[in-house]
Amino acid sequence: MEKIFKKPKGLNDKTMHYCPGCGHGIVHKMIAQTLEELDLLERTIFISPVGCAVFAYWYFNTDHIQAAHGRAPAVATGLKRANPELIIVSYQGDGDLASAGTAEIVHAAARGENISVIFINNAVYGMTGGQMAPTTLVGQKTSTSPFGRDPNFAGHPLKVCEMLATTKAPRYIERTSLDSVANLNKTKKAIKKSFDLQARGEGFSLVEILSPCPTNWGMSPPEAMDWIAETLSKEYPLGVFRDERADTEVRNDS
């Protein structure tokens, strides 16, 4: 029990602003634990996204930069190429990464930038009121699809891991979830693997995490976890989509 409640050195004492049952705080803790375990805190720059995690820089004992809508992979590219010794944690939600920043993430992956992308997929635009995102399921009700997402009008869900895995350069791509203890453990391992690969100069990695947004899903926190297990992860299957040496040389590696 002591281990579970021990605050990692990578987090400060501020109370987080997230809603009860939100996944962002869970992932923040895992990131901080991992940076401490790998002794990377001193050389990490955390890139905060737009969306509910816009204030992530309030909580981490790392250096920070705030990227505009969708631009985190481009900012990460510049930081890493100019300072190859840094560890870059590029953190984005699905509205940010899969809508505003689709071009940036595709090209950063295709170039094989040596960065770690943590992608929080909660199937809505959380911060701005639960609007439909590219990741919203067909039939899912949101504030801008009150009768459910209609694929004839709004298209089908965008599958980021599957899409990026069609490019040759990425070193590691995995989709995990926060809905059970087993999946929490897998998520923590995936984050650790991503940071470790970056520290060893192995190239681009992305961990997509299916994460609850009870507030905008209109559910209690336990119901939200069940919905991930029973519905969301059917559309977004968990697993490893790439785990092999990149087919291109990692650029500007230390």
Ligand X SMILES: Cc1ncc(C[n+]2csc(CCOP(=O)(O)OP(=O)(O)O)c2C)c(N)n1
Instruction: Between 56 and 250, name the residue whose CB sits nearer to ligand X.
Output: 56
Could you say which residues in the range 1-60 bind ligand X, by CB under 6 A? 50-53
- What the block records as the tokens of 154 is 């709004």
CB of 192 to ligand X, least distance (A): 22
Q: Is 208 in the site for ligand X (CB under 6 A)?
A: no
Out of 10, 24, 142, 164, the residue judged to bind ligand SF4 by CB under 6 A: 24
Q: Is 133 in the site for ligand X (CB under 6 A)?
A: yes
Contact 212, 21 (CB under 8 A): yes
Continuous segment of H or E residues that includes residue 117: strand 116-121
Q: Around Cβ 185, how many Cβ atoms within 10 Å?
A: 12
Which of ligand SF4, ligand X, none binds 177 (CB below 5-8 Å, type-dependent)? none
d(CA 60, CA 8): 10
- The angle subtended at Cα 96 by Cα 94 and Cα 100, nearest 5°, is 120
CB of 174 to ligand X, least distance (A): 19
Which of ligand SF4, ligand X, none binds 95 (CB below 5-8 Å, type-dependent)? ligand X
Could you say which residues in the range 106-125 bind ligand SF4, by CB under 6 A? 122
Q: Is 250 in the site for ligand SF4 (CB under 6 A)?
A: no
Contact 115, 80 (CB under 8 A): yes
Helix %, strand %, coil % for the chain, to 5?
40, 20, 40
- What the block records as the tokens of 10 is 């990578």
d(CA 78, CA 88): 10
Q: Is 183 in the site for ligand SF4 (CB under 6 A)?
A: no
Among residues 206, 186, 207, 204, the alpha carbon closest in space to that of 245 is found at 204
CB of 111 to ligand X, least distance (A): 22
Which of ligand X, ligand SF4, none binds 137 (CB below 5-8 Å, type-dependent)? none
Of 108-116, 127-135, 142-150, 153-161, which segment contacts ligand X by CB under 6 A?
A: 127-135
Q: Is 174 in the site for ligand X (CB under 6 A)?
A: no
Which of ligand X, ligand SF4, none binds 8 (CB below 5-8 Å, type-dependent)? none
Q: Is 133 in the site for ligand SF4 (CB under 6 A)?
A: no
**Range 2-22 burial, b when 16+ CB lie within 10 A, else e:** eeeeeebebbeeeebebbebb
Q: By rule CB under 6 A, what count of residues binds ligand SF4?
A: 12
CB of 20 to ligand X, least distance (A): 15
Residues that bind ligand SF4 (CB under 6 A): 18-19, 22, 24, 52, 122, 126-127, 213-216
